[in-house]
Amino acid sequence: MELVRATEAAAIRSAPFIGKGDKLAADGAAVDAMRKFLGTVNFSGLVVIGEGEKDNAPMLFNGEEVGNGQGPACDIAVDPIDGTSLTAAGRGHAISMIAVADRGSMLDASSVFYMDKIVAGHEGIGVLDIRQSVEENIRALAAAKKKRVDDMRIAVLDRPRHAQLIEEIRATGAGTRIILDGDVAGGINAARHDSRIDMCIGTGGSPEGVATACAVKALGGFIQGRLAPGSDDEREKGEAAGLLFDHVYEANDLVRSDNTFFVATGVTDGELVRGVRREGEIITTESIVLRSRSGTVRRVIADHLVAKWLDS
């Protein structure tokens, strides 16, 4: 619940900027709120996946220490708003998120920005492989889920680099769910048992892949990643950091701990969680809390007095 308070705060503080066209203002408000509330959490947190380096403040930067210094030592991944462009445009599916695992267990892939990823529910385990063609993976997962291929729905980020991938998906007869931004939520939805999305595939952020793995482990789902450097210089930096290329990272490579938490609060309405709402003097938030050790998924709906936020 302490982590939920931090994502709730970030979502609430960013809400006034929804649809206002200023993603930096929205992000700044969310960062300030999340940092403030993380400072009260009973743990010694090290930001392994943040928003930048220290000299780019105000950000929750890589290497920043958060928490009150007591309790367990943890790695944390934060994104005060996953979907700043969505928030600024007033579109759906923006969330505020935190992922937590035991200290030293998260893969630090910050030196290589992009990663090819494939995410699905438990039916994908032993069936899917990122080295297979898109058609092979779709047909194999459809068979495992006992679904017709033309009933399959595949989530893909809306990026020019995915034009060929989208064509290949549709050529199988499967449908696409085009994500404008925020592939963390897309991956989680693919791993959920009650989602309309069967698989999430494509090239997205490497840090987001690690954060998604924390959630997927709690859901008992499937995830694989393969680093996709954009230049020889980036590959050299990754190799110097000990990262492996032409290598498939499994869930336990992305996050070695079996004790992971993933917390997200909706900023704008999405399939994962509803966005922040204000009715009169009440602000309502919806959050999701995933824990791998217990295999639990909890939803937290909270009402907040507006007056308390005006004074804080």
User: Could you give phi then psi for residue 142, rounded to 5 degrees?
Assistant: -60, -45
Q: For 164-217, write each residue's pLDDT tens digit.
A: 999 999 999 999 999 888 788 899 999 998 899 999 999 998 888 999 999 999
229 vs 232: CA distance, rounded Å: 7
Q: Which residues are annotated as a binding site for Mn(2+)?
A: 27, 51, 79, 82, 208
- Amino acid, res. 247: H
> 25, exposed or middle or buried, with CB in 10 Å at 0-12, 13-18, 19+?
middle
Q: Are 47 and 61 in contact (CB under 8 A)?
A: yes
Q: Annotated binding site: which residue ranges? A: 27, 51, 79, 82-84, 114, 159-161, 181-183, 205, 208
Q: What pLDDT is recorded for position 55?
A: 38
Q: Comparing 59 with 138, which gets the higher pLDDT?
A: 138
C-alpha distances (whole Å) from 66 to each of 40, 74, 134 are: 9, 10, 41
Give helix 2-14 / helix 23-38 axis angle, nearest 10°.
Answer: 160
> Residues marked as binding for substrate?
82-84, 114, 159-161, 181-183, 205
- Res 52: pLDDT: 56
Work out the average pLDDT over 39-43.
86
pLDDT at 77 over 60: yes
